[in-house]
Amino acid sequence: FGAGEAILRRQSQRESAARAYARSLPVVPVRARGMTVEGADGRRYLDCLSGAGTLALGHNHPVVLEAVRQVLDSGAPLHVLDMATPLKDAFTTALFETLPRELAEHGRIQFCGPAGTDAVEAAIKLARTATGRGGLLAFSGAYHGMTSAALAATGDTAVRASVDADARITRLPYPYDYRCPFGTGGERGAELSARWTAHLLDDPKGGVQPPAAMLLEPVQGEGGVIPPPDSWMRRMREITAARDIPLIADEVQTGVGRTGTFWAVERSGIVPDVMVLSKAIGGSLPLAVIVYREELDVWRPGAHAGTFRGNQLAMAAGTATLRYVRENALHVRAETVGTRMLCRLRGLAAHHACVGDVRGRGLMIGVELVDAEAEPDEFGALPAAPHLAARVQQEALRRGLIIELGGRHGSVVRLLPPLTITDEQAQAVLDRLAEAIEAAAV
């Protein structure tokens, strides 16, 4: 126990202010298996953060450990930059088997990495190179990563040209039904959003640069777990296709079964031009790639590089994870368990005025906490309650539940359990969360 406290104290002092887990989630994990994390203090926690959705199979799943062990025992090189290897071949094959048919049959893969943000950079660069345009369409509440300055500081002007750092981002409202930018949610709100987007793009005096791409999350994660209507996804696909604008789907958080289909875009039936993949594809080790239509593959050799793109261990762990999720249809389980959890959480919302909204898809669930004492706005939404959410997080931790917050105001409790969560664990998560909300709300 003492060791854990000392570690937390030292890390709280030494870690940057931008990295606050030692303060906001004061747990010192020393062992973990599945959904359970054991702290240095001997306490056990249910982990509903799962590395922000990275751990599709939970911690230290036997198939992942075995895959990594085999590589370590085989004498395979651990680092080969981006050279072709049997492990890379196996990973690419396993990944392509999961992709929408058009991409599986004719797609290209670019290893990026090691983080999701690198793959987002690659996707934007690719679209800019392929279209010769600079602007980008992105959405309110979007989260795509943290990089910006490294390439701008790079001397190679030819590489930098694909970035056009001054290019404008046109930000469009994401269909967020609880705080709906169109005053109405659902299908009608989605249609208004689509019309607005089309109008903006076609208005010669609209002030919007012809964009290189539209970048969207099929379900917003960090923005507060916001699933858009399927019709909206289809309309975005139509609008971009009709104007030759590549559509980039950022599936960094939604991928590998989390939302109830293997890839979240499958639900609406659309096929994006580029998919950005990371987190769960590396089976808990760092890996990030983009897959895209071959017509876009026009960039010159060396246009996108990086030292840590060929992480052999991550490829092995990722191959094992992709196979396991597919063979055991864990995306279907995510849908079943997630729907049940959503249903129970909606019951909880009915008894707690401070729960303004419950939403999600599969095992990507958000509970938005609000100020129940305040006046609702004209559409019935109450103001966000970030302080209450922070209290719920601490109360949950005291009850052995690790949760993370998100959303525009930090007022959304996010549940991202592993897809292997058992019924008993799901029940325990909901019981502890309900108790935490009750304790925090008084």
Closer CB to ligand PMP, residue 169 or residue 208?
169
Residues 248 and 139: their CA atoms lie apart, in Å, by: 12
- Binding part of the chain for ligand PMP, among 1-9, 215-223, 363-371, 372-380 by CB under 6 A, reads 215-223
- Per the DSSP assignment, residues forming a β-bridge with 169 are 136
Q: In terms of Cα–Cα distance, which of 314, 315, 136, 268 is closest to 210?
A: 136
Are 267 and 334 contacting, i.e. CB atoms less than 8 angstroms apart?
no
404: contact with ligand PMP by CB under 6 A: no
Closer CB to ligand PMP, residue 253 or residue 411?
253
- Binding part of the chain for ligand PMP, among 9-17, 143-151, 199-207, 229-237 by CB under 6 A, reads 143-151
227: contact with ligand PMP by CB under 6 A: no
397: contact with ligand PMP by CB under 6 A: no
Residue list 27-86, contact with ligand PMP (CB under 6 A): 52
- Per the DSSP assignment, residues forming a β-bridge with 255 are none
The 3-state DSSP class for residue 63 equals helix
Residues 193 and 210: their CA atoms lie apart, in Å, by: 18
182: contact with ligand PMP by CB under 6 A: no
Structure tokens at 241: 């296709």
Residues 377 and 383: their CA atoms lie apart, in Å, by: 8
Compute φ and ψ for 194, nearest 5 degrees. Answer: -65, -45
- Binding part of the chain for ligand PMP, among 92-100, 229-237, 245-253, 425-433 by CB under 6 A, reads 245-253
User: Concatenated DSSP letters for 26-43?
Assistant: ---EEEEEBTEEEETTS-
Using CB under 6 A, pick the residue from 29, 145, 173, 306 that binds ligand PMP: 145
Q: In terms of Cα–Cα distance, which of 95, 94, 102 is closest to 269?
A: 102
Residue list 267-326, contact with ligand PMP (CB under 6 A): 278
371: contact with ligand PMP by CB under 6 A: no
- Binding part of the chain for ligand PMP, among 38-46, 94-102, 250-258, 343-351 by CB under 6 A, reads 250-258
Angle in degrees, 0-180, between the axes of helices 312-327 and 62-74, rounded to the nearest 10: 140
216: contact with ligand PMP by CB under 6 A: no
Structure tokens at 126: 């690719």
Q: Report the 10 Å Cβ neighbour count for 204.
A: 6
The 3-state DSSP class for residue 427 equals helix
- Binding part of the chain for ligand PMP, among 137-145, 148-156, 294-302, 322-330 by CB under 6 A, reads 137-145
Minimal distance, residue 40 CB to ligand PMP, in Å: 25
Minimal distance, residue 147 CB to ligand PMP, in Å: 8
Closer CB to ligand PMP, residue 45 or residue 139?
139
143: contact with ligand PMP by CB under 6 A: yes
Contact set with ligand PMP (CB under 6 A):
52, 115-117, 120, 143-145, 217, 221-222, 250, 252-253, 278
